[in-house]
Chains A and B, each alone.
Chain A
């Protein structure tokens, strides 16, 4: 796949601007109607999903050239997928998110690189994580838990913590609590320890598409070595990589992939986990983009050229992402009250961290998070709960920056607290 393979998609844009908004049928107020952080923040049409496609077409047809400014617009985007959802409400023949990925690949191919992203890549190549941390420290988050590691005995479930949860000391408690409660509930769970590595999805999203394959092969190797039949991750970015990017690129891990909220939600339903402790809180839930709309599994099987003829079942509409399991977990906690924001599920507003924005354009990431925090505050919630370490990170930092009262939790933290673990 390359940018030129998406020419019909780009040329199909009718410039209706639906991609700037949440689907209009769901607009409930003036304040929270916008869907695209990039276009809302920077206003020129070029920043919207449509604008980026038009720029792509313009370059492809040699009407304009890629340069640092244009690359800057392409990368000031969280790849959150809101534009794709809103576009596909109306269109069957445009895969906007794929165009955005190919635009980045073109930037890399043509040498228009973002310094911070190069550093991430460097770190991924050298230390198997994009955070500039040491590979040797990867497994430290699980120290003392006594979990089986691959290379030792075979396990039923392999837990993939992901880079952010592995290294962010502020957040580590979440995954420690999570694997502990799974083990206590009788799940035969293991980890890759210091051998765990990045899933590689971040490299693909930054435009270094070829780099993902090595990480994917390693991932497949670890899964195989663990003997697991199920791969579970607590990171929504990794989940998206496993569910969408790998299969899109012909990579098959050969196991069931679950987000932690899917596994735990299932266990609560089966009565294998019974939250008993009161969590007396009014909370709202933020759908991570890469777990929600972008977490929808890749729909294989369509190879026709004219997407006007493509049956609807092959569309990545975003509606089949993971939306209910985290909410089910929250609702299972005694004493908690869940209130919804206006922009939820597949038309959720992004946290701001994705697509390399947190690293390269932190002010934009924080602005985006701030908009979401205002929406959360408007519900009267005292806490915003989510299910992704990147979201937790950017929200916590934005709360601190703004001196807000809002508490930020991963849903697994609340569950652990109900179970008496935290």
Chain B
């Protein structure tokens, strides 16, 4: 609930048209996919915002934050706001929707960065960057997502990760409205020295700001940030017809897509290490065969999976990557292809040149470069979830793929989750020769079917238990809320305690909703989890060795 006085102040600050507490409007911020991570019976998140506001500038964000502080309200900011981690953590939370702050403020071609506001999305930034021969990192959520949110507040890789790495590596200077309403500019903007560096001259607080996973709205509001841009060896204004799978495009002669597949997981991982060492390729990503077929012909997959023989045939391609070469010159193109073939041969794989498959190549080429495909994963079942996915040396993600497939097949084989061949791991290698990468295990279900939703929740709880028990590293289960930090923290250098200290230092009054970051009061959090989702909480607590704790 928001008091009339607080509401009036918000209206006076932003204009009445930019503030709402109309329940139907608020429900637009309450409905989210991926509520399996919250153990909910449908896509309605547990708490509706007390109000929603649309600030148009950093100054207005500061004012909103101060008003919340004065009136004992929490706030939570969102950019495009996709996913249950945007949900409110309690009743008295104001949703800050940053949609009006949507500009690309600068593209610095020479120093290869762009300064963006929260609601400019990746497709816009990429289109503008390409005009200058550059490209940006696009998180796995796809090009409808916010580059600022990815860089400052979340953690993810994307198709072009081989070239552009993952979220945390892409953030440079940041403008940050702290939970008390002060503005902090970190990195070079902190010294009025431009936006080109996240560390200095100027305060270097990237670690505190986002840590590894991002604070997911729990540590203030990011109103501007600079993100890295990377050389784009392709057309400045790609000529593309069609909307998705039907795309035809003028693909440069020096670009080509390959499907490379290997006989087993070890040789698949070896090939990834070799590619990273050789520094070839623009994109290397595993989109599992099940996922590809599910998105291209979902009804077809449902039919095919009824026959074991077809499943076996499709599964022969389970250890594969899609690999995109984007070269500037024919000579470089020939070199990269030759190296790729050598690596594939060494690892006893096969290399299929998809550019020889008319009809598909253009759609894959642009689909992966633009990263427009992610919402297609909703096509088969209505929604999906993701699990495992710790960012580690690549042998480890390979092992996680195996774990994911093992656990998930118990659900797909019994029809509790949709049969996507239980090989829906997605991810790849990045960070060059460090061999760093990840694999997520996706799972597909219809959230409108309560049995499937329940199975998804059950599976997800199982993956967290498995991850903790086998010490698989912090995966994407982080999205499950602050409780996850309490589970994994003790296993990983007590990072949850460090997060708590950062939270305490920057937000002593806990104004910025920490529901998906870290709780200042872990005991209260655990009690709430026990009340809200006892089944999942019990499983998690068992991992923590606290089965008996109420």
Contact = CB atoms under 8 A, between A and B. Distances in A.
A309 B380 CA distance: 9
B128 A30 contact: yes
B43 A46 contact: no
B192 interface: no
Given A14-B383, A17-B144, A27-B123, A43 B54 contact: yes
B242 A25 contact: yes
B100 interface: yes
Contacts of B28: 44-46, 50-51, 54-55
Contact of B127 (A16, A30, A66, A90): A30
Interface residues on A, range: 35 or more
Given A25-B240, A25-B372, A54-B31, A16 B82 contact: yes
B22 interface: yes
A18 B123 CA distance: 11
Contact of A15 (B33, B142, B299): B33
Given A33-B127, A45-B97, A26 B29 contact: no
A211 B18 CA distance: 36
A64 B242 CA distance: 39
B32 interface: yes
Interface stretch (A5-13, A124-132, A163-171, A368-376): A5-13
B24 A89 contact: no
Interface residues of B, number: 61
A43 B28 CA distance: 12
B121 interface: yes
A85 B81 CA distance: 21
Given A30-B128, A90-B376, A17 B82 contact: yes
B351 interface: no
A333 B296 CA distance: 41
A70 interface: yes
Contacts of B33: 14-16
A12 B382 contact: yes
Interface in B1-53: 17-18, 20, 22-29, 31-33, 42-44, 52
A24 B340 CA distance: 31
A137 interface: no
A186 interface: no
Contacts of A59: 24
Interface string B97-136: 1011001100000000000000011011111100000000
Nearest to A42: B17
Contacts of B382: 12, 14, 93, 308
Contacts of B66: none
B333 interface: no
Given A24-B144, A51-B28, A8 B370 contact: no
A21 B80 CA distance: 12
A57 B382 CA distance: 16
A346 B244 CA distance: 13
Given A16-B378, A55-B25, A58-B24, A45 B81 contact: yes
Given A58-B27, A59-B24, A308 B366 contact: no
B22 A69 contact: yes
Interface in B129-180: 142-144
A57 B82 contact: no
Interface in A329-353: 346-347
A44 B121 contact: no
Contacts of A85: 243
A44 B372 CA distance: 24
Contacts of B142: 24
Contacts, number: 159
B18 to A, nearest CB: 8
A144 interface: no
A363 interface: no
A303 interface: no
Contacts of B18: 43
Nearest to B378: A14
Contacts of A50: 28
Interface string A179-199: 000000000000000000000
A311 B32 CA distance: 27
Given A58-B23, A308-B446, A91 B82 contact: no
A328 B380 CA distance: 38
B247 interface: yes
A11 to B, nearest CB: 5
B397 interface: no
A16 B97 contact: no
Given A17-B82, A33-B123, A28 B237 contact: yes
A25 B243 CA distance: 6
Interface string B356-379: 000000000011001010011011
Interface string A22-38: 01111111100100000
A73 B446 CA distance: 29
B133 to A, nearest CB: 16
B156 to A, nearest CB: 15
B243 A55 contact: no
A15 B81 contact: yes
Contacts of A73: 24-25
Contacts of A319: 243
A88 B153 CA distance: 30
Interface string B465-507: 0000000000000000000000000000000000000000000
B421 to A, nearest CB: 18
Given A23-B243, A73-B25, A18 B144 contact: yes
Contact of A25 (B23, B42, B247, B446): B247
Interface of A: 8, 11-18, 21, 23-30, 33, 42-46, 50-51, 54-55, 57-59, 63-67, 69-70, 73, 85, 89-93, 308-309, 311, 319, 346-347
9 contacts: A8-B448, A14-B383, A15-B81, A29-B127, A30-B127, A45-B97, A63-B27, A90-B244, A308-B380
Q: Which 3 A-B pairs have the closest CB atoms?
A: A64-B23, A45-B28, A27-B123
Given A29-B128, A64-B24, 5 more contacts: A21-B123, A24-B372, A45-B97, A54-B31, A55-B27
